[in-house]
Amino acid sequence: MKSVTRYREAQPSLFASIFVVLAVFVIGVRGLRNVSIDIPLAVAAGSTVNMSCRYDLESDNLYTVKWYKGPEFFRYIPKEMPPISVFGELGNKVLVQRSGAHHVILKNLQPNHTGKYRCEVSGDSPSFNTIMVSAYMYVANLPKSDPQVRVEKIRYAVGDTVRGNCTVPSGNPPANVTWTVNGVPVNSSFMMNVTDKIIDNQQLMTIAGLDFEIIPDSFNNGRLHIICHANVFHLYKKQADVELIEERPRLASVLGTRESSYIGTFYRTIYNYIRTAFNRSNFFSLNIV
């Protein structure tokens, strides 16, 4: 009987414990949610970047917000004074006065800061529910000038082959190059990246080739417009172009040349025949040039 009594007495405390666990679980699920990260896909070297981490705590309280790129570089704990701590080389880029629970401002970013950034948000006790989200950002060294287009010549006839190239100055990452001919996209015949080390930064010059045969429909009013389009994300969008001229055959000149050649040959044949014949008879000589 004692054991039964003890079991009955223990039941309320057991049920209470189960209730507390369930309550904690429910609070954790219904607390922190909708965590999202917002950072640019790409920025130019030297930029100041605003990174945001949004979340909904509902009935929870915030315990901490942490930022990582590999190791942790930023921490925000509202219960501590001061609430912000920074770490490492990237932590030195943080504008502390403008950063906080939802934002981190980084200054003077360079290509070596390209990578995956993670935001980790934790609710306070008793749940300490934690969610982490991430996004990738590129820091680009942009080309310092416009692309250049070169072709072998300016005048082309039907059946000729147009060969040329488009050179985009060095950058990191290298530029993407596309072609249009009279507004119609054309594939590059080749694409190559040439390493160009500038100070301590390795950058890549892009060279794209163009190779196609002229057909009767290539020209538009005797003109053929070639454009090289170069871009690096949305940060660098440049183009270079060249206009080719149709070289048409000179029919009158060709016929005239052939006719003159034929007449000249005809008269020389007559001259040689007459001279041979009359020289034999010693009548006279001819002077036909």
Strand partners, 244: 224
Query: What tokens does 88 get?
Result: 């490492």
- Per residue in 114-173, pLDDT (tens digit) is 999 999 999 988 888 899 999 999 999 999 999 999 999 999 999 999 999 999 999 999
77, pLDDT greater than 60: yes
What are 43's strand-pairing partners? Answer: 139
pTM score = 0.70
Q: Is 193 exposed, middle or buried (0-12, 13-18, 19+ CB in 10 A)?
A: middle
Q: Do 135 and 160 reside in the same domain of the chain?
A: no
3-class secondary structure, 283: coil
* pLDDT for residue 198: 62
Quick one: tokens of 112?
């070596």
Q: How confident is the model at residue 222 (pLDDT cuts 50, 70, 90)?
A: very high
CB neighbourhood size of 179 (10 A): 21
**Which pLDDT does position 187 carry in this prediction?**
94
Cα separation of the two ends of the chain:
149
Average pLDDT, the chain: 81
Q: Which residues pair with 190 in a beta bridge?
A: 209
Q: 236-246 and 223-232 as β-strands: parallel, antiparallel, unpaired?
A: antiparallel
Same domain? 134 vs 158: no
Reported confidence tier of residue 94, pLDDT bands at 50, 70, 90:
very high
Q: What is the pLDDT, as a whole number, of residue 51?
A: 98
Contact assessment for residue 2 and residue 98, using Cβ atoms and an 8 Å cutoff:
no
Residue that is last in its domain, among 91, 117, 140: 140
Q: For residue 238, tell me if it sits in a domain.
A: yes
153, 131: one domain = no
Q: What is the DSSP letter of 158?
A: T
Section 170-195 average pLDDT: 93
**56 vs 272 pLDDT, higher one:** 56
Do 175 and 197 belong together in one domain? yes
Domain-located, residue 21? no
Q: Alpha helices, DSSP H only, in 92-164?
A: none
Structural contact between residues 236 and 143, judged by C-beta atoms closer than 8 angstroms: yes
> Is 211 part of any domain?
yes
What's the pLDDT at 23? 39
Residue after which a domain boundary falls, among 111, 140, 169: 140
Contact between 27 and 60 under an 8 Å Cβ cutoff? The reply is yes
* Residues contacting residue 129 through CB under 8 Å, at least 6 positions apart: 28, 29, 31, 32, 60, 122, 123
Sheet holding 161-171, edge to edge: 148-151, 161-171, 201-213, 190-198
195: confidence class by pLDDT, cuts 50, 70, 90: confident
Last residue of a domain, one of 123, 140, 157: 140
> Residue 120: its pLDDT value, please?
96
- In CATH, what number is assigned to the domain containing residue 91? 2.60.40.10
Residues 6+ apart with CB under 8 A from 68: 117, 118, 120
pLDDT at 125: 85
d(CA 188, CA 156) in angstroms, rounded, equals 19
- The percentage of the chain sitting over the pLDDT mark of 70, rounded to a whole number, equals 74
Same domain for 157 and 132: no
Do residues 174 and 133 share a domain? no
Whether residue 130 is found in the same domain as residue 179: no
The total of structural domains in the chain comes to: 2
Strands 236-246 and 155-156: parallel
Q: Is the pLDDT of residue 64 over 60?
A: yes
pLDDT at 19: 39
**Is residue 117 exposed (0-12), middle (13-18) or buried (19+ Cβ within 10 Å)?**
buried
* Domain span holding position 76: 30-140
Q: Is the pLDDT confidence value at 272 over 70?
A: no
For 229-259, write each residue's pLDDT tens digit: 999 999 999 999 999 999 987 655 444 444 3
Question: Which two three-digit tokens encode residue 61?
Answer: 């309280």
Q: Is residue 3 part of a domain?
A: no
Confidence band for 285, pLDDT divided at 50, 70 and 90: very low
